[in-house]
Structure 1
Amino acid sequence: MFNAKILDELSSKVNEALASGPAKDVEKNVRALLAQGFSKLDLVTREDFEVQSQLLARTQEKLAALEARVTELEARSTAGAPPSPAGELG
């Protein structure tokens, strides 16, 4: 019934029309609007977020260690050790 060449040409023309038609323009415009909207927001990249998360985790670990050390030093100082003179550490 139909010639295969005619079907190929029709398919080619439909693909060209879709590629250069309003659908493609709409996609470009939506992407541009989204990019513009995201640029106005105060967003960070996933990589920057991960780096900051790791930095926060390390900082929390150090803080916990320092809190434990302070607690230990306070316990020692109240356990009967004579107070150190003013201005002298350790």
Structure 2
Amino acid sequence: MIRNLAEKLLDEIQQHLPNGEQLIPKREIHIALQAALARLDLVTREEFDAQAAVLQRTRQKLEQLEQQLETLER
């Protein structure tokens, strides 16, 4: 992901600055992107999917408990 972003950014720089690659080496862009992304509060897709599954199971359990409570209250 970072490599793709670095390449896209480098392409944009090269389009606007004729000597863009010489001014900012690809490695430097990659390092800068890693540093910027590290400061963000991001999770991987796998982590997101795992938490979404936990949330879904929790919702199902809550619905079951609400139904049980409603039955007991009658």
TM-score normalised by the chain length of structure 2: 0.65
1:56 Cα deviation (Å)? 0.3
1:37 Cα deviation (Å)? 0.6
- Within 5 A, what are the aligned runs for 1:58-69? 58-69=57-68
- Measured on the aligned residues, the alpha-carbon RMSD in Å equals 1.7
2:31 is matched with 32
Cα distance in structure 2, aligned partners of 1:48 and 1:23? 37
Q: Alignment identity in percent?
A: 35
1:22 matches 2:18: no
2:50 is matched with 51
Structure in which a larger fraction of residues adopt helix: 2
The CA deviation string for residues 1-28 of structure 1, in whole angstroms up to 9 with x for no partner, is xxxxxxxxxxxxxxxxxxxx72781x22
The CA deviation string for residues 55-81 of structure 1, in whole angstroms up to 9 with x for no partner, is 000000000000000001001xxxxxx
Give the gaps of 5 or more residues in structure 2: 1-20
Which protein shows a greater Rg? Answer: 1
Cα distance in structure 2, aligned partners of 1:40 and 1:24? 21
TM-score normalised by the chain length of structure 1: 0.54
2:12 is matched with none
- By relative contact order (CA 8 Å, sep 6+), the higher-ranking structure is 2
Residue identity matched to 1:61 = Q
